[in-house]
Amino acid sequence: MKRELVGWLLIATVASCVPVAHISAQFIPISECEAPCPLVVELAGTFGDDEGPGMLGEYVRGFPGNNGRWYLVDNPPTAVKVYDGAGGFLHRFGRSGEGPGEFRLIRSVLQFDDGVVAVLDDPSGLKFFDSAGKLLRETRLPFAPTSNGVVYADGLGMVIAANVPTPERTGLPLHVVDLDDGSVGLSFGSLTGEYRLSDAGGMSRVLAEGPAGAVWAARRYEYRIELWTPDGLERSLVRDVPWFPAATLSTMVHGWSERPNAILGSLAATGSQLWVKLQVADERWRDASEANPGNPDRDGFFDTIIEVIDLDALRVIGRVRLDEEFSNFVAPGMIGRTAVTPAGSVRYQVYRISTTRPGSGQVTTVPGLIIDRYSLPIPCR
């Protein structure tokens, strides 16, 4: 996919004064696997040093760039650390603050084909740097972006998840924004244009690139994935499974007294496959919560489920459940994870996930990482 620093920026948000396209959507149930469908997980790369400027903090997110470069953001999310494809630290740019080239809360990083690096900062907007980390320019946006709804879509531009609480934009969760001045030129993504307070999670979306001129969008607390174009809703894929009940406003307000809400955390798509990352309660979630109610150990609190959906057959063709919390897809079939060495150093690991056996490489068979037990029934048949 060719990405250029021109055109429009697409954003995900909130009853609107703008006319809404009422198009009949195809609500399509996604079937289970026809046979056992385990996925193979293979460690593909590791980043982070034991000491020096290449050390990493907690909660690392990775973003692949050009020429094998990787852009990592850790905690606090106020700087970008750059590594080569072999895991070697190159340099960093940015620091905490509100001035030029400074960040409050980095949401995403994207490098364009011409080498320009765009960093999405909350709440200040987009900041553009050259490949050496020198600030080129800044563009303020009329919204506060979220972390998972960022992707570059052919025919549309960059895609971001956000809320835009203005009379003309409220209730339309997808917006096309001018990259130069941040103005919103087009809003869509709803059949009604209404914002309902009962919608769990508000109007934020998890996004992935679709076919040219389209984008996949999903709510975080419902297993329903929609394909949108500016003309309306093209497809709505629904998974009706007992281990992912849709959250309601009541379950959001009253907390996790029975079980933590399942979360749809990340999407990635190719022409014929859709990759979905979900978080469900670990068997030990209550112990993790009671040990530290304010900030439970998330690896003990959540498991990660990854499913691969065949968009032609409309069924799941691969699934794996991992006894750890993984972060975002960095590409279809590639996902990141923050890990800690026995010595206490933080690493960012990238895993390759496939529906067939890998030809070579270090397959992650570490006990406790990949599990075949399920705290909730997940049949694969």
SS in 3 state form for the chain?
A: CCCCCCCEEEEECCCCCCCCCCCCCCEEECECCCCCCECEEEEEEEECCCCCCCCCCCCCEEEECCCCCEEEECCCCCCEEEECCCCCEEEEECCECCCCCCECCEEEEEECCCCCEEEEECCCEEEEECCCCCEEEEECCCCEEEEEEEEEECCCEEEEEEECCCCCCCCCCEEEEECCCCCEEEEECCCCCCCCCCCCCCCCCEEEECCCCCEEEECCCCCEEEEEECCEEEEEEECCCCCCCCCCHHHHHHCCCCCCCCEEEEEEECCCEEEEEEEEECCCHHHHHHHCCCCCCHHHHEEEEEEEEECCCCEEEEEEEECCCCCCEEECCEEEEEEECCCCCEEEEEEEEECCCCCCCEECCCCCCEECCCCCCCCCC
The larger pLDDT score, comparing residue 73 to residue 23, is at 73
Q: In the structure encoding, which two tokens stand for residue 292, read together? A: 């530290």
pLDDT band at 258 (very low <50, low <70, confident <90, very high): low
Does a structural domain hold residue 376?
no
> Is the pLDDT confidence value at 24 over 70?
no
Cβ-proximal residues to 230 (8 Å cutoff; 6+ apart), any chain: 156, 176, 186, 188, 213
Determine what percent of the chain is predicted with pLDDT higher than 90: 46
**Winning range, highest mean pLDDT, from 92-106, 133-147, 350-364:** 92-106
How far apart, in whole angstroms, are the C-alpha atoms of residue 133 and residue 252? Answer: 40
> Is the pLDDT confidence value at 256 over 70?
no
Does a structural domain hold residue 257?
yes
Does a structural domain hold residue 121?
yes
Does a structural domain hold residue 378?
no
Does a structural domain hold residue 379?
no
Mean pLDDT of the chain: 80
**Phi, psi (deg, nearest 5) at residue 260:** -60, 145
Please give the pLDDT value at position 194: 61
> Is the pLDDT confidence value at 23 over 50?
no
Does a structural domain hold residue 1?
no
Does a structural domain hold residue 87?
yes
pLDDT band at 372 (very low <50, low <70, confident <90, very high): very low
> Is the pLDDT confidence value at 261 over 70?
yes
Mean pLDDT calculated for residue range 103-108: 94
Please give the pLDDT value at position 280: 87
> Is the pLDDT confidence value at 203 over 70?
no
Mean pLDDT calculated for residue range 310-327: 91
How far apart, in whole angstroms, are the C-alpha atoms of residue 312 and residue 327? Answer: 27
pLDDT band at 257 (very low <50, low <70, confident <90, very high): low
Kindly report the CATH number assigned to the domain that includes residue 208. Answer: 2.120.10.30
Tally of structural domains, the chain: 1
Mean pLDDT calculated for residue range 267-274: 92
50-88 pLDDT, tens digit per residue, is 999 999 998 999 999 988 899 999 999 999 999 999 999
Q: Which domain holds residue 219?
A: 8-371
Does a structural domain hold residue 65?
yes
Please give the pLDDT value at position 169: 75
